[in-house]
Structure 1
Amino acid sequence: MKASELQTRFERIRANKTFEIFVISVIIISALLVGAKTYDMPQGFASVTRITDWFISAFFLLEILIRFLGEKRKRHFFKNFWNWFDTLIVVISMIPADSTDLAVIGRLVRVFRVLRMISIIPELRILLVSLVKALPQLGYVMLLMFIIFYIYAAIGSTLFENINATLWGDITISMLTLFRVMTFEDWTDVMYETMAVYPLSWLYYLTFIFFTAFAFLNMVIGIVVGVMEQENAAARKEAAAENNEPTLDDIMMELKALRHTVEQLSSTEKTK
């Protein structure tokens, strides 16, 4: 068989949806297998899981090899971050999980094999990339939220320390208590305790919840959704470029050019 024919076959296997679904299924089975090992199992079942784990590791190694051989330009394979990620996870997961020294490392890496679904499923990649790209903007929101936490914690520690030192003893404990309030974990118990001494202390809690649970969390969601829309648009544009399909910008440019041509023709007719 010629090298070009072999290359074409590997490309077809790599692009095959059935093969992709099968890989995802093996990843899920691998994750379930790791979870099953946390239970006490009979010796026979433990041997089956050990053999199955080695078969899964061998399959992942074969899958990486197929993707590498299916790449037209082999040098470009490792220019992709996700290819590096998958290869690293697969190679490290070959560490024997039952050896005395490397057992913990081997088992932990097998847990992380489920993260390979991110590299396999494009939608998950977009979600993760959007979250990472949103981090710089989220940093300023987190900084502002920390300032609000710090101010309210200082006020709470000053006013409520004598009521309950366990919850308001110092500013760090007060910030933990405020985090409990923000997540609505029995926050009314905390509020009613202080209201017994300060009847208007409900204003303290309601304003804090408004700033954190409502305003800031909605800002975080808005930033992530905005970045996600940009990533989806970029992915659609890249897919259109690979398939030689016209994008919305190309269509708009063509419509403008057509409109300009029609205007020129109409002005020429009027001159005549």
Structure 2
Amino acid sequence: MYRAIHQKLEALRSHKAFEFFVIFVIIISALEIGAKTYDLPDLALSATQILDAFITLFFVFELAIRFITEPNKKHFFKSGWNVFDTLVVVISLIPINDSEMALLARLVRVFRVLRMVSIIPELRVLINSLIKALPQLGYVVLLLFIIFYIYAAVGSFMFKDINDVLWGNIAISMLTLFRIMTFEDWTDIQYETMEVYPFSWIFYMTFIFFTAFAFLNMVIGIVMNVMEEEHLKAKQEKHGVEPSMTELKQEINELKQMIKQLSEKA
């Protein structure tokens, strides 16, 4: 009896129609949250409350199916996505009305939209790639901060008398440099300083080259490299883990040694 129910739930979970319906419910949940930000008539508010209750119960049902069909129940909560989905679903059970935790319940319902990331494998790969790239990006951000700090100090010393609002101290200068890096009316700042220092354009050109071009390409390169590794890992998990090139080389070396030993004995 239990095996038959388990097989049916497993078939339901892996069915494409059920996956699309889960995504559809998540989209409806997002639209329902957006609708509540408007002033709605009483009838529409009642409809959204009924819809919210249905969405919450459906998410509980969907999470229960995933837990029941998990071969190893102990490993279910080792996945960060499963823990996130469980927290969102559990906190969503808090009633919105007449509750001290109503604000928390409303905020958590907003995060239902993120459940689409845990449902769609391609989105999971993107998020996992960004998370795994953070340690490498940390060094790039540190180097970027050093460049910012040096240019902010130089800019504050040189241009403070020209415009104290933009270059008054090193903190304000760093905000101004961020504006320059994002190309937000940066030419107005450049032309203002060029009236006093005609060659100050070198300051801006080199800063933009280091930050907007060089560092941006470094970030993109790191993320793309990690993303390729995550795509390869996802394919291996889907189609079965294949031996790596290192393992193949080791096996080939072992075979060569065995052949060499046999030839020496002969």
Common topology (TM > 0.5): yes
- Superposed CA deviations along residues 162-220 of structure 1, whole A, max 9, x for unmatched, are 11111110000000000000000111111111111111111111100000000001100
Letter of the aligned partner of 1:49 in structure 2? T
Q: Report the Cα distance in structure 1 between the residues aligned to 2:232 and 2:64, rounded to whole angstroms.
A: 31
Give the aligned partner of residue 161 of structure 1: 160
5 Å matches for 1:9-20?
9-20=8-19
Alpha-carbon distance change, 182 to 35 in structure 1, aligned in 2, over 3 angstroms: same
Distance 1:75 1:173 in 2: 52
1:91 matched residue in structure 2: 90
Provide the rounded CA distance (Å) in 2 between the counterparts of 1:127 and 1:163: 45
Tell me the distance in 2 between the aligned counterparts of 1:249 and 1:59: 41
The question of whether the paired residues in 2 share the 8 Å contact of 1:7 and 1:72 is answered with no
Structure 1 gap ranges (5+): 265-272
Q: Does 1:240 align with 2:239?
A: yes
Task: Map 1:1-272 onto structure 2 (within 5 A).
Answer: 2-241=1-240, 247=242, 249=244
Give the Å deviation of 1:82.
1.5
Distance 1:137 1:74 in 2: 34
Task: Give 4+ residue runs of structure 1 displaced > 4 Å after superposition.
Answer: none
Task: Name the SS of the counterpart of 1:5 in structure 2.
Answer: helix
How many residue pairs match? The answer is 254
After TM superposition, the score normalised by the length of structure 1 is 0.88
Distance 1:229 1:134 in 2: 12
Measured in 2, the distance between the counterparts of 1:230 and 1:175 equals 35
Residue-by-residue CA offset, 1:3-61 (whole Å, 9 max, x unaligned): 11111001111111111111011111111111111111111111111111111001100
What SS does the aligned partner of 1:197 have? coil
| Distance (Å, rounded) in 2 between the aligned partners of 1:59 and 1:114 | 14
Deviations 1:132-189 (A, max 9, x none): 1111111110000000000000011111111111111000000000000000011111
| Letter matched to residue 210 of structure 2 | F
- The SS at the match of 1:49 is helix
Aligned-pair distance for 1:81?
Answer: 2.1
Identity of aligned residues (%): 61
Q: What is the SS of the residue equivalent to 2:96?
A: coil
For normalisation by structure 2, the TM-score amounts to: 0.90
Taking the aligned partners of 1:96 and 1:80, their CA distance within structure 2 comes to: 27
**Range with greater deviation from structure 2 (233-242 or 4-13):** 233-242
Give the CA deviation at 1:249. Answer: 5.0
Displacement of 1:235 in angstroms is 1.3
Contact 1:27 1:116 (C-alpha < 8 Å) held by counterparts = yes
Structure 1 counterpart SS, 2:162: coil
Taking only aligned residues, the RMSD between alpha carbons, in angstroms, comes to 2.1
* CA distance, structure 1, for counterparts of residue 199 and residue 66 of structure 2: 65
Structure 2 gaps of 5+ residues are: 260-266
| Conservation of the 8 A alpha-carbon contact between 1:153 and 1:178 | yes
